[in-house]
Structure 1
Amino acid sequence: MTESESHRILVVDDEPDITALVAYHLAKAGYRVITAANGRDALRTAREERPDLVVLDLMLPGVSGYDVLAELRRREETKDLGIIVLTARKDEPDRI
């Protein structure tokens, strides 16, 4: 098993095509990919699967990506989790 195969990455996006594209490339690079299509599932999956990294869309239905990010930072077990924000938003007020 290579080092990348031992790392789990949670991809969170409500657009199936984007999720599939990101997951494909990460899996091709040898990572174990877990997916979630909304904020509620993302929080549950992060708690249950304990990923090493989250690729997070900010514009999610229901629980937003902003709320997911805040909750992951609030929880002791996920506060140091690496998170990459993936979004189509580009305006200055939308930057984190």
Structure 2
Amino acid sequence: MADALRLILEDDDGTQLETSCTRLAVVWQGRELWVQQDGSGQLLIGVDVEDGDTEYANLVLRPMATNLVSLQLEMEPADPADGAGDGHVHGPDCGHHH
């Protein structure tokens, strides 16, 4: 499976469990944060949006060190004029297959 993610899950005591999947989610600040590969070697990270959501979930990535980044989830009001609150503009680099 070329698009499989190899996962290493670690407990507080350091015990590790290795597994794999094509997509995984972490519930963070009440939102599902999804991680998956796009088939070309890139890692995609997104936040699920549900019908009726009144806020956008924005992911902010900041470098902290040579091999460390900070990921922050910021919420901003959705503009209902955008049509269903989805202001996403599809383009060649958006990661959606359309």
TM-score, L = length of structure 2? 0.29
Q: Which has the higher contact order (CA 8 A, sep 6+)?
A: 1
TM-score (ref. length: structure 1): 0.29
Q: Which has the higher strand share?
A: 2
**Larger fraction in helix:** 1
| Structure index of larger Rg | 2
